[in-house]
Chain A
Amino acid sequence: MIIADKNTKAVDLVRAALDKAKEFEDYHCFISMNEARALDKAREIDEKIARGEKVGRLAGVPYALKDNYLSPEGVTTAAARMLDNFPSPITATAVAKLEAEGAIMIGRANLDAYAHGSSTENSYFGPTLNAHNKSRVAGGSSGGSAAAVALGIVPFALGSDTGGSIRQPASYNGVWGMKPTYGTVSRYGVVAMASSTDVMGCLANNADDVDLVMSIIAGKDPKDSTTLDNFWNRELEDAKPKKKKIGIIKDFLGDGVNPEVIKTVRDYAEKMKKAGFEVEEVEMPIMKYGLAIYYIVQPAEVASNLSRYDGIRYGHRSNEAKDLDSIYSMSRDEGFMPENKRRIMIGNFVLSSGFYDAYYLKAQKARTLLINAYNEAFEKYDALLCAVAPAPAFKFGEKTDDPLQMYMEDVMSVPPSMAGLPALAAPAGTSKEGLPIGIQLIGPRKSDQMLINIAKSVEEVA
C-alpha cells in the first residue's frame, strides 16, 4: 500500500479513496462516509511531514471500518435498526491503534445486521454488491469491507470473523482475509456476537499488507482479558513452516462442493508442491459436524450478548410501547432483523431447561473432539488446506428464503473458529463465470504469520 511521505500527500490518498467510493456508490460498500474528518486528519499528517515530524507506519492510508466497530466519528449501526442512531461514546482498541499509526477511516462498511449472515442481505440498510458481478452477493458478514478493498477504494479494511465473516466475503471478492488466532486482537469496542469465537482481523489486496495491518492491531489489551501477548512482533520472514507438509481436508472435496471450487483447491495443492511442500489428503470426519456445533454454540452466545439491547440505556426504543415490558419486547421486535431473532430464539432453545444437555452441552463436547482432531493433524502437518466456501458468490435472493441454506455457506469456515485457530483466506482462482474462488490455510494457534508465508511462497511459484 502507498504510505504518505514528502512526495505523496495524505490528502491526495484520502481524496482518491473518497472519489472512488463515490464512483462505486451503487455497490453500497458503505453505510456512512467520514469525508470531512478524514480530509482534516490527512491535512494534519501532511503538515507533520512538512515539518519533518515522525508519522506512523500507516500515515495517510485510507481504510474502511466495518460498522460494528465503535469509534467517535458518526454512528456505529452494526447495520441494525436497533443502533441506527448510536453515537459511540468509546473507541475500539483496534481503531485507536490504527489511528495512532496515521491510518484514516474514510467510511463505515456495510455488514449483515450484528454480523449475522453470509451475504450482507441481512443489513437493515440494504445489501452490498459483489465487486466482480453486480447480480451476486458480496458475501458476509464483512461484505462492505471486502467489496471496498476489491474495488480498489481502500487498500485495506477491518472486519470481524465469528464463523467466516472475514474469509468468505474475501473469497467472494477475490481479496485476502485474515481470521487470526482467537485473542490476537482486542475485542474491546466491537459489537459482540459470539464471544468465544469473535475475532478481529483485516482484508487487503496482498499478503504483506495483511501482515502489516495485523502487526499493528494485534496485542494484549487490559480492556479485553482474553487477548494474548503480541506474538505478531517478529519480521514476517522469521515465521517459516518447519515440516513442509500440508494436509488437504478430504471431507471438503466431495458432495455439496462445486466442482470448480474443488478444482481450484487441487490446483492450489499442485502449486504448493512446486513450492516445495509435501501435500496429501487427510480425512477428518468430525469436520462435517462443525456446522452443527457452530449453529448451537454461536446462537447461544448471541442470545446472551444481544440480551443487553433493551431499549432503555441506548439503542432503538419503540414508540408504540406503553409500559416497561413492552419497551423491551417491542423495541427488540422492531430493532432486530429476522435473522437476529432466529438466532436469539435458537440460542434460547438450546440453552433452555430440558434441551441444554442434548444440544448445548453436547455441542461443547463435540467441540472438544473437533479440537482434538486438529491437534492430531498438526502433529503431522504445518497447515491444512481447504476452500473457504462450497461455491462462488451466489445470486441475490437465492438463499434468503431458507436460513439453513444460508448457514451451509459456513460449512468450511466455522471449524477453525470453533477451535480458535488462525485461518487465512487467499485468492486462488476464478470460475468460468468470472467469479473469484478463494482457499483457506488453517494452522495451529499463533501460526498466523507462518500461514501468510506459506501463501506467499505459493504465490511466488504461480
Chain B
Amino acid sequence: MAITREDVSHLAKLSNISLNEKQIEPLMKDLGNIVGYISQLDELDTEGVEPTYQCFDMQNVWREDVIEEFEANREDLLNLTVESEDYQIKVPRVL
C-alpha cells in the first residue's frame, strides 16, 4: 500500500507531531514499507477467531478504595514542569 504525502500529514496530525517538509518524503517510503510488510497478515484465515488483547488470566483486579500517601510530594511534581504558579501549571492562554 502506497503512503501518500497526505497520509503522512494526516497521521502526523493524529499523532500531534509537527513535521517539516524534509521529514515527509522519507516517512512516505518508510511507513509504506512497514505497512506493506504488516499487510501480510491478510494471508491468515482468522474467521471466527477471538482476539487476544492481553495474555494473562486476570480480570478486574480489585483493591480497597483507600487514600494512600504518594511517594512524591506536590513540589517535586510541579518542579518537573517548565512554569508553575500557585501550585498550578502554566500554559499559554487558550482562549
Which residues does A use to contact B, with CB under 8 Å? 86-87, 89-91, 182-183, 196, 222, 225-226, 228, 286, 289, 291-293, 295-296, 303, 307, 310-315, 317, 321-324, 326-330, 332-333, 336, 338, 341-342, 344-346, 348-350, 352, 358-359, 361-369, 371, 402-404, 407, 418-420
Contact = CB atoms under 8 A, between A and B. Distances in A.
B91 interface: yes
30 contacts: A89-B77, A226-B61, A286-B44, A289-B43, A289-B44, A293-B41, A313-B80, A324-B92, A324-B94, A332-B18, A336-B17, A338-B23, A341-B23, A342-B27, A345-B11, A345-B31, A346-B34, A348-B11, A349-B11, A349-B35, A362-B41, A363-B38, A364-B51, A365-B52, A366-B46, A369-B44, A403-B30, A403-B33, A403-B34, A420-B56
Contacts of B37: 291-292, 295, 404, 407
Contact of A402 (B16, B33, B58): B33
Contacts of A311: 82
A370 B45 CA distance: 12
Interface string B60-95: 010100000001100011011110000001011010
Contacts of A363: 38, 41
A125 to B, nearest CB: 20
Determine chain B's interface SS by DSSP, over half rule. Answer: loop
Given A225-B58, A296-B41, 7 more contacts: A346-B31, A352-B14, A359-B41, A368-B50, A419-B55, A420-B55, A420-B56
Given A322-B92, A332-B17, A364 B53 contact: yes
A326 B72 contact: no
B55 A314 contact: no
B44 A342 contact: no
Contact of A326 (B18, B50, B53): B18
Determine chain A's interface SS by DSSP, over half rule. Answer: helix
Contacts of A324: 91-92, 94
Q: Contact size class for B?
A: 35 or more
Given A345-B27, A404-B33, A420-B55, A222 B16 contact: no
Contact of B81 (A196, A313, A322, A333): A313
B43 to A, nearest CB: 8
A44 B11 CA distance: 53
Contacts of A330: 18
Contacts of B31: 342, 345-346, 349
Nearest to A347: B15
B80 A87 contact: yes
B17 A289 contact: no
B84 to A, nearest CB: 10
A341 B15 contact: yes
A402 to B, nearest CB: 7
Nearest to A363: B41
A317 B82 contact: yes
Contacts of A292: 37-41
A225 B57 CA distance: 12
Interface in B1-49: 7-8, 11-12, 14-20, 23, 27, 30-31, 33-35, 37-44, 46, 49
B41 A289 contact: yes
A307 B56 CA distance: 25
Contacts of A342: 27, 30-31, 34
A314 B79 CA distance: 8
